[in-house]
A and B are shown apart, each in its own frame.
Chain A
Amino acid sequence: MLEAVQLTKRYSSIPAVQDLSFTLRPGEVLGCLGPNGSGKSTTVKMLTGLLEPSRGLVRFDGRNIQANLAEYRTHLGYVPEEAHLYPYLTGWEYLDMIGTLRGMSRPLMESKINALLELFSLLPARHAAMGTYSKGMRQRILLIAALMHDPDIFIFDEPLSGLDVTSALIFKNLVQSLGRAGKLVFYCSHVLEVVEKVCTDVLILRQGVVIAHDSVANVGQILGQSLENTFLHLVDDVDTMRVAGDIVAVMKAA
């Protein structure tokens, strides 16, 4: 079980996240939504142990993760927002390095890498430098790197970025399968339909504060509307139609 207890992070006394609390149980897929600057990335960094909270703590199986980060990270599979890979390494070399750094046994690692590369349609490109990969290919490499050691917790930060339709569909089903397999999944995204489809619960952030945290069905029913409309109503009090009209007007201005 992963617990966030009154997580608060301040940058130079400016709060990025305030009193964020939730519990993620095995089998749950928690979606995290929020506009830019709402504190999603800071939350992810605190959950992965990359950032130490200014106040509060993250507990995994009842233990503060900061007490033994290295041990916690053996249970973690993380897909960062940016696919910032080493362009001169091949896909296979990168995964081999990640597996080695995770202490995986060689035969198991090699068989898993090959199988996952095959499943993610990357086997033909495994010996090409990642500098030549498309954004979607890089994203798939990151997904394999997060999956290959069979972690208990998955933290996905915009994992669909750049994926083609087939890969995205595979991934959405994969997330649901991971939930059914009893894994803990924290899923950060801007894509509301995906969150609506794959997550069991949703957490909506605005300016670092939780404004809604419930099951997807319940959050959608707050206003008796879809998750998209509820999200817009809760987060941004913006008339999107009017803004779109204004953009066209500016575009056409002489």
Chain B
Amino acid sequence: MRGVLGIFPQLDAAVDAVEDLKHQRLGDVTVYTPTPRHELEHAIHAPASPVRRFTLIGGLLGATFGYWIAIWSSDYWPLVVGGKAIASWIPYTVFGFEMMVLIGGLSTVAGLFINARVPRLTAVVGYDRRFSHGDFGVYVEAAPNQIQAAEQLMRKHGAVEVRGER
């Protein structure tokens, strides 16, 4: 999809451009920022991240696995001590907890990678090395007949550079 990329040195200029692009419905907007800024989050109106579901499911699976491996091993290779339970949930909570953290943590990272679409091994449109430095970028995927309007809008809001990307 073809689009327009605007580079803004000032945060408020980028925020205004995003709000205007959203208002005029010129296309999907992607913002690049050297650090997370809540002003841009408000302007983008993005839905809540689903990473939390990965965390929850991973944590539950991990806790289940931790208890299961300890109980199953104890039952299959029993160490019999008179008067003591073969499988005891109190010490096995250590395994349940540690596996919950381990699997839950790694699932969280998997959730990040899947949702953020990283690792990204190919070159992508709409990125400029200035975005990791100090400038803000606004990229809008626009239909060919709206490219010019998008470029004008970016310039109006103070973009120091506007270029077409495809």
State yes or no: do A and B come from one complex. no
Query: Which positions in B face A, CB cutoff 8 Å?
Result: none
Query: Which positions in A face B, CB cutoff 8 Å?
Result: none
